[in-house]
Chain A
Amino acid sequence: MAARRSTARISDWITYGALVCASLFALLPLLWGLSTSLKPPTEVSAWPPTWIPHTPTLENYAAVLANPKYVRYLLNTLGVTFVVMLLGIGLAAHASWVVARTRFRGKSAMMFLMWATVMIPGVSIIVPMYLLSVDLGLYDTYTVLVIVYCASVVPTLVWLLRGFVASIPQELEESALIDGSSRAGVFYRIVVPLMRPGFGAAAVLVFVTVWNEFLIGYALVLGDEHRLIQVGVYYFVTDVGIEWGPLMAGMIISALPIVILFAALQRYFIQGLTGGAVKG
């Protein structure tokens, strides 16, 4: 008995040791970036490097936020994200309900095709997307960004929301039908309000996808007017050479909304980002 207790204690210590080491591996790059963003230029290039800034300053953040381009990138990204949320979740919510609840001709073939698109890697279609968007006069517009981002999130959103629809007791919908509601009315008045937790996870999925996306934002946008934050930070770097202090500040501002949202909505995050495969 005593022997078993002591082996249990040893394995506990090994567990804690491993978790602490892994946490350091996870945190150190982030902390190093944060520390750099709070240093004046002289300290950024100090040797030996310091983890805690001797003279912490917010000047890097001030410089980044005073740059009208950077603010423009942030607002562009917010706007595109918001429209994709409304449009993508709207489309996916309608589709997910009929996928979960009704049978119609061609359903399985269309669903197979829709989910097959998830297997098409972005890099395989980015070149034609660029060429086609130029042909269609959509290159360098918000419209093309919204369309492409919507299309890239909708299959996962349908998959995710279908799970939430399936968890709504079907008797509710049937009794509303018997009470004389139209089918569409059942969806808007009964199903949509009950899908709210699903919308939370869906919104997180859209937010993180659009906010963190680089490739499409790079290939389909020409100038500062429609540029999104990830590409903006990339250009922001090369514009000024590499000034690590402001770069890290700009980068941290760009990553902050997601980290804050994650802290507040961890469950939705895990559900949304794993497409509902993991319940959070």
Chain B
Amino acid sequence: MTRAAVPTLPSNLPLADRAIGRGDLQCRPQKWGRVLLPYGFFLPAFLLVAAVSFIPLGYAIQQSFHAADYMGMGRFVGLQNYSRFLGDGQGWRNLWQAFVFVAGSVAIALPLGFALACALNRPIRFRGLFRTILILPWLVSNLVVALLWAWMLNAQFGPVAYLVSQLGGTLPNAVTSPALAMPALIIANVWHSYPLVMIFVLAALQTVPAELYEAARIDGASAWNRFKLITLPMVRNTTLVVLVLTTLHTFNNVTMVFVMTGGGPVGMTETLALRVFVEEFKYYQTGIASAAAVIIFALNLLFSVVYIRVLRGENTAKA
């Protein structure tokens, strides 16, 4: 009796019509599609990315424990490359300079980007124009940033030097001055980095419901309290994310330092990332370059893990 309830449909009907009656029919011809298609679509992208990232990374790690012959892996030397890198103090100086570069850049770019985001979130005129102008420094390349600021701060012909001379001082050549090279790099990097902070924080601010502020105002909360108790908690995670992004971009930045100061004067702006580049492409010291590259990778990893922990902790604490 139950058989009669499911009428057999003629096989020349469109697939959809047959499927009404016999559910498995639509699947069987598409077994290939269901099981293999995801792999066919996903694997090409995955394999390309994995090959180009993990093979070189593995190679760098392996190389860091081996002596480097010309263009090849030499004998196993244990931690010798690391001890050569850190042993003479230069490696630690590179790390310190990277720290100064990152800390200086982030300490200015983060509050600056945050404040500008708050300003752009207010209902003011020319908001779109201000936003467009303020984003511009983010669009140009590291090379362009380095060249523009080297030229801005040029001691002979630049406008900053002229301004300083009008005020009765003399501007030494910023990119070759021991006192000014690092601040010059930091200014250039801040100019390039604050827009990302601004964009992220502005996007987060725009998700804060206006009613919250209205309610707080009616309850008599001061502007500072509204900021502290509504704005800050709502944009906290975004700010943390963009803090990490800016930190890592700066820490890993080779191009700007290479083009602007080349690490000089006398290695005073040689950051860890620049050291890798210089050791390989100037001195052909592949062993030391690899050890430094692995240290950079480890620090990136460490920093990301800490930040994921913090973000997770935040969220679970909230929930």
Contacts and interface: CB of A to CB of B under 8 A. Distances in A.
B137 A104 contact: no
- Main secondary structure, interface of B, reads helix
A60 interface: no
B148 A234 contact: no
B63 A128 contact: yes
B148 A123 contact: no
Contacts of B132: 263, 266
A129 B157 contact: no
B280 A26 contact: no
B14 interface: yes
Interface string A228-243: 0010011001000000
Contacts of A270: 135, 199
Interface in A34-57: 36, 44-49, 51
A124 B291 CA distance: 9
A30 B148 contact: yes
Contact of A132 (B56, B112, B301): B56
Contacts of B49: 114, 117, 151, 154-155
Contacts of A152: 52
Contact of A233 (B133, B143, B196): B143
A160 interface: no
Given A23-B130, A120-B297, A277 B200 contact: yes
B165 to A, nearest CB: 8
Interface residues of A, number: 99
A141 interface: no
User: Most chain-A Cβ atoms within 10 A of its Cβ — which of B34, B280, B294?
Assistant: B280
Contacts of A127: 60, 63, 276, 280, 286, 289-290, 293
Contact of A18 (B26, B116, B152): B116
B162 A48 contact: yes
B293 A123 contact: yes
> Interface residue tally of chain B, by bracket?
35 or more
Given A123-B252, A150-B48, A128 B134 contact: no
B140 A28 contact: no
A27 B124 CA distance: 20
Contacts of B57: 120, 124-125, 128
A151 B45 CA distance: 8
A32 B147 CA distance: 11
A158 interface: yes
A179 interface: yes
Contacts of A182: 30, 33
A49 B158 contact: yes
A124 B294 contact: yes
B145 to A, nearest CB: 8
A154 B141 contact: no
A110 interface: yes
Contact of B143 (A19, A26, A92, A214): A214
Given A19-B116, A219-B281, A230-B255, 9 more contacts: A19-B130, A120-B297, A122-B252, A178-B19, A212-B141, A215-B255, A247-B147, A263-B132, A277-B241
6 contacts: A25-B191, A119-B304, A178-B19, A187-B41, A214-B254, A270-B199
